Amino acid sequence: MAAHIPADGSSAVYRAMNPDTWRWGIPEHLAAMQVDLLRWLQWSKTKDATRKPPRNMPKPIPRPGVEEKQKAANDRFKDVEAVPLDELKRKLAKPRRAVPTPAPTAA
């Protein structure tokens, strides 16, 4: 039964399971995106936008689910170290062997 709950917020069960996100449908996300873009466009005409590096860039409107995805993407590479470019070039210049391709299977 729970697998067939409509995700449009019309179900009390869905609203109870997703109290923070059920109000955010496509129209709400698009409206927030429009506001973010208009604020960015307004900011881009200021002196702060022309500075190196740019300052006081407007922050986007918080959306449920978006921050968690961005944080997860940032955490994904937190233990990765940058490799110096000359070392990367040296490793990529080493000879490589061909990857064997699997034989086609008869259907």
pLDDT (0 to 100) of residue 36: 95
CB 55 within 8 A of CB 48: yes
- Tally Cβ neighbours within 10 Å of residue 29: 15
pLDDT (0 to 100) of residue 72: 62
- Does any domain span residue 95? no
pLDDT (0 to 100) of residue 98: 84
Question: Residue 54 is encoded by which pair of tokens?
Answer: 């740019």
- Does any domain span residue 9? yes
pLDDT (0 to 100) of residue 14: 76
pLDDT (0 to 100) of residue 71: 64
pLDDT (0 to 100) of residue 62: 87
- Cα 81 to chain center, whole Å? 21
Mean pLDDT, each 10-residue run in order, the chain (107 residues) = 69 78 83 95 93 90 72 69 88 87 78
| Residue span of the structural domain in which 44 resides | 2-90
Q: Considering only CA atoms, which of 5, 9, 6, 3 is closest in space to residue 24?
A: 9
Q: Considering only CA atoms, which of 29, 30, 24 is closest in space to residue 8?
A: 24
Q: How many domains does one find in the chain? A: 1
